[in-house]
Amino acid sequence: MKDKGMSEEEPLEPPSTRPLLGAVFSEAVPHIGKGVYRKRKTLTVIPFKNNSILPKFRCSQNTLSFRKRFYPDLATTAWNDWRWQLQNRIQDEETLRRLLVLSEDELMALSDPEGRFPVAITPYYASLLSSEDPSQPIRRAVVPVIAERVLSVGEAADPLCEEHDSPVTGLVHRYPDRVLFLVSDYCATYCRYCTRSRMVGQGFGKRPKWRQWENAIAYIAGTPSVRDVLLSGGDPLTLSDENLEWLISRLRGIRHVELIRIGTKAPVVLPQRVTPALVRMLKKYHPLWMSIHFTHPDELTPETNQACERLANGGIPLGSQTVLLAGINDTVETIRRLVHGLIKIRVKPYYLYQCDPIKGSAHVRTSVDKGLEIIEGLRGHTTGYAVPTYVIDAPGGGGKIPLLPDYIKGREGDDLLLRNYLGHIHRYPDPNGRSGDRPWVH
Ligand code: SF4
């Protein structure tokens, strides 16, 4: 039966564990308002108290120059503190205008009062954006354009019908043995093609949803078939260590939950979040895996490298998830550079997703042929570990469907005819098989 949601206010504290209580989200991350700069080309920052001692975090030359230019008075310790990065997210046209030369298209989208989906970019990720070129791939991934307002055939707010498979609020139970636990609707940086744009950044996620979390945990505890829990959102790593541990420790306490996974983009847009303290906490709850959302090789910076190194050294297996996007990463060369870079930082390229038909996504969606062409350009041409699985998450809630180029070319007698990565045909003796028969022969 579906939980229709909570009518009462969520409590401010976790229901049963005061000792684990961390800073509630609304205190930790107040929203910045408009007019946050005081003089041209430097941005005023929200006063930030950092009482904790953070270990050193290496910064790239590019990021250092950006900081010197736009935040000249800011201490390195503040820049390298993930809470400062969240407090100072860039969320409005005026602030973005200070950092980038905005195109007409971007300006129209940013000033649109009916803008469909909020804008937020961490100062760190902003440092990677081209100030002059609106067609730069990672800029296109986070700065809105007016095409987002165009609704095309087949698009929907919830194309995967996640709400339909939600037995309690914030939990999607589609496959029998695993659940998707949407623990937050808040992200450090909002991607313009987000599958959950119907809910993320909509302002409900400023603090933990204790009651909702308790209901979801109770459902998992009462459903012995669930052996795998994927924490996602929004981004679970925007929660405090204490609140995240509250969640993970309870899931780990459920006997039939074998695997806990976290889906996050934090190592890419907020690498400072991966502190030694976070890794120390996470490694108490193994087996714990992490899927990291990468879009483009420009995201493979020294900072992201460092975040992934800390996670990998903590024994957390890392996989990447990448959405195939027109004009952003839809060439063999771009994806090859990305997967080669990922392997070097110990992240296994896991999924390449066909972009979901969310509302206003036609301008970033590619043909399926393009995805097959990319897989064809990788398989056999590079290390097998570097080749992700290309999938379509079937609209209507059909789940992930893998797609492969057609390597079976037919059958001659008892021989199966196979095409290799160079296009050569090879035979395999397969006397009892039917593969390669024309479908209408079956
Ligand atoms: S990080 Fe994930 S959940 Fe957040 S906006 Fe991007 S795609 Fe959506």
For 235-253, the pLDDT digits (tens) are 999 999 999 999 999 999 9
171-401 is classed CATH 3.40.50.2300: no
Closest atom of ligand 1 relative to the 263 alpha carbon: 2
Q: Give the C-alpha distances (Å, rounded to integers) separating 101 from 24, 34, 119.
A: 36, 18, 17
Pocket probe for ligand 1: among 138, 182, 196, the residue whose CB has the most ligand atoms within 8 Å is 196
Query: Is the shortest distance between the CB of 120 and ligand 1 below 6 Å?
Result: no
Report the separation in Å between the CA atom of 264 and the middle of ligand 1, taken as the mean of its atom positions: 8
Whether residue 123 is predicted with pLDDT greater than 80 in this model: the reply is yes
Query: Is the shortest distance between the CB of 235 and ligand 1 below 6 Å?
Result: yes
Report the separation in Å between the CA atom of 79 and the middle of ligand 1, taken as the mean of its atom positions: 22
Task: Give the residue whose CA is nearest to atom 8 of ligand 1.
Answer: 194
Task: Give the residue whose CA is nearest to atom 5 of ligand 1.
Answer: 190
Whether residue 275 is predicted with pLDDT greater than 80 in this model: the reply is yes
Determine the 3-state secondary structure of 156 from DSSP. Answer: strand
Report the separation in Å between the CA atom of 90 and the middle of ligand 1, taken as the mean of its atom positions: 16
Query: Is the shortest distance between the CB of 234 and ligand 1 below 6 Å?
Result: yes
- Looking at residue 198, the DSSP 8-state letter turns out to be T
Whether residue 20 is predicted with pLDDT greater than 80 in this model: the reply is no
How far separated are the first and last CA of the chain, in Å rounded? Answer: 41
Task: Give the residue whose CA is nearest to atom 6 of ligand 1.
Answer: 191
**CA distance linking residue 78 with residue 124, whole number of Å:** 12
Strand ranges inside 168-239, DSSP E = 171-172, 178-182, 228-232
Where does residue 402 rank: exposed (0-12), middle (13-18), buried (19+ CB within 10 A)?
exposed
Report the separation in Å between the CA atom of 75 and the middle of ligand 1, taken as the mean of its atom positions: 29
pLDDT (tens digit per residue) in 196-238: 999 888 765 557 889 999 999 999 999 999 999 999 989 999 9
What pLDDT is stored for residue 27 in this prediction?
Answer: 30
Closest atom of ligand 1 relative to the 196 alpha carbon: 8
pLDDT interval class at 442 (50, 70, 90):
very low
Domain boundaries, the chain: 31-146, 171-401, 408-441
What pLDDT is stored for residue 273 in this prediction?
Answer: 97
* Catalytic site positions: 174-175, 178, 187, 191, 194, 196, 356, 393, 400
What pLDDT is stored for residue 202 in this prediction?
Answer: 79
Residues facing residue 264 across a β-bridge: 292
- The average pLDDT across 422-439 equals 91
